[in-house]
Amino acid sequence: MRRAMNRNYKPALLALEDGRVFSCHSFTGHGQAEGEVVFNTSMTGYQEMLTDPSYCGQMVMMTYPLIGNYGVAPEDMESGQIHAQALLVKEYQMEPSNQRSVETLAGFLERHGVMGIEALDTRALTLHIRKSGAMRAFVSTLERDPHTCVDMARAIPAMQGRDLTGAASTVVPYRWQGGQKYLLSLTDLSLGERVWKFKGNRPSVVAFDFGIKHNILKCLEVFGFEVIVMPATTKAETARAMAPDGIFLSNGPGDPEPAVAAVNTIRDLIGFRPMFGICLGHQLMAIALGGNTYKLKFGHRGGNQPVINMTTGKVDITSQNHGFAVDAESLNQSDIEITHLNLNDRTVEGFRHRRWPLFAVQYHPEAAPGPHDSVYLFSEFQKMTKEFHKSKNQPKLKIGGTHL
């Protein structure tokens, strides 16, 4: 009866590249979508996931069975648009109950031209992905021949080998202030270090946008940073000319290995200022330091990933969204200390350099959605920038006519 009331409810097929086909229905009308199918184990946060640029090129499946019950709220946006290719759920709730809601999930998806799929056996699909790995898929209400749909899935570019660092990035630099974007012009950037409004009063940070989330920027601001966000294609000399107190490397989509331009920029900036990387930024920093990355079988996506801090022994429950990981054996551990490990599979979740002021984590300490166990990392970055600034301005010791 409920489905009969929805005139946009259409039969559909979901086909995987390995030949398996699932029947399902669209709750957003006719359409089709393609991308790598991945699953997320969080019970809430579908709006944040949909608008997270890290999901560019992927269809997100929720393992929690009932989705849509709290609707959509403007303050839960992690970017200005939906980046996921489609949302796949077991059961969609048409009538949200939440005082913050201004729109249904279906209306939100339709407005952005993104398919919503329900009546899908998400348990079976999740188990299949866990066994066979994340894979390309094609979903359609228009094409109903299974063999054609499988062929369409196999024609999709694979995630491995794709540099998407620029796909979800801003193309115009902007200042983040008071939770708002203020676009910068070439004239603004030509000011160099005079571009900062609060230089000397707040630590300044250049944030490289590989697919940055709004809540990361909010956290940086809460911890006292003045933030200017730069496109993924920004050169090292531009960042140097701005003379920030710190460099931040954001999350983002795609395979880090082919992102050669971003890696070269990061390598040029190592040692220039304190550096903090999250997710894709963690992977790119590792490569810039001589390490390698590899694709996980089905990735880590959810709000309940246990991570141990190897320095303190403390375990944080973390929010994660990534399909690639840093190869621990590839890191020069005489220079690099692995600081965090995933307790489920022992993959690298964080590292720091023993000599240079830089560190990175694979998970999302801004936690939108998710637990706030790791938000302290923004405070650690703040301390690092202050200590670096203090040491930089201290007079050097003079011993035997030599400045140290």
CATH number reported for the structural domain that contains residue 23 in this entry: 3.50.30.20
> If you compute the radius of gyration of the chain from its CA atoms, what whole number of angstroms results?
22
| Cβ neighbour number for residue 247 with a 10 Å cutoff | 27
- The whole-angstrom distance between residue 320's C-alpha and the CA centroid of its chain comes to 8
Whether 340 is catalytic is no
Say yes or no: 182 and 317 in one domain: yes
Q: What is the mean pLDDT of the chain?
A: 93
| 92 and 232 co-located in one domain | no
Whether 403 shows a pLDDT value over 50: the answer reads no
Residue 364 annotated in active site? yes
At residue 401 the predicted structure's pLDDT band, cuts being 50, 70 and 90, is: very low
- For residue 100, the tally of other CB atoms under 10 A from its CB is 12
Of the candidates 274, 254, 282, which has an alpha carbon nearest to the alpha carbon of residue 362? 282
Q: How far, in whole angstroms, is CA 291 from its chain's centroid?
A: 20
In a domain, 68, yes or no: yes
6-59 pLDDT, tens digit per residue, is 678 999 999 999 999 999 999 999 999 999 999 999 999 999 999 999 999 999
Q: Tell me which residue has tokens 């903090």.
A: 276
Q: Which residue bears the tokens 């999302």?
A: 364
Select which of 118, 257, 349, 366 is catalytic. 366
List C-alpha distances in Å: 171 to 55, 167, 211: 19, 10, 11
What integer pLDDT is reported at residue 187 of this predicted model? 87
Range of the domain at 277: 174-392
* Spatial separation of the C-alpha atoms in residues 17 and 149, rounded to whole Å: 9
Question: What's the predicted TM-score (pTM) here?
Answer: 0.94
The confidence score (pLDDT) of residue 175 equals 97
The one catalytic residue in 25, 300, 322, 364 is: 364
Q: Does residue 166 form part of some domain?
A: no
> Based on the domain organization, do 259 and 208 belong to the same domain?
yes
Predicted confidence band at 2 (pLDDT cuts at 50, 70, 90)? low
Tell me, yes or no, whether 169 lies in a domain.
no
The CATH number assigned to the domain holding 370 equals: 3.40.50.880
| Catalytic residue chosen out of the listed positions 279, 300, 322, 340 | 279
Q: Are residues 129 and 184 in the same domain?
A: no
Q: How many domains does the chain have?
A: 2
Residues of the chain above pLDDT 90, percent: 89
Cα–Cα dist 254/158, whole Å = 10
Tell me whether residue 56 is one of the annotated catalytic residues: no
d(Cα 105, Cα 88) in Å, to the nearest integer?
12
pLDDT range class, residue 183, cuts 50, 70, 90: very high
Q: How far apart are CA 6 and CA 371, in angstroms?
A: 35
The model's confidence at residue 397, banded by pLDDT at 50, 70 and 90, is: very low
- Please check whether residues 140 and 178 belong to one and the same domain: no
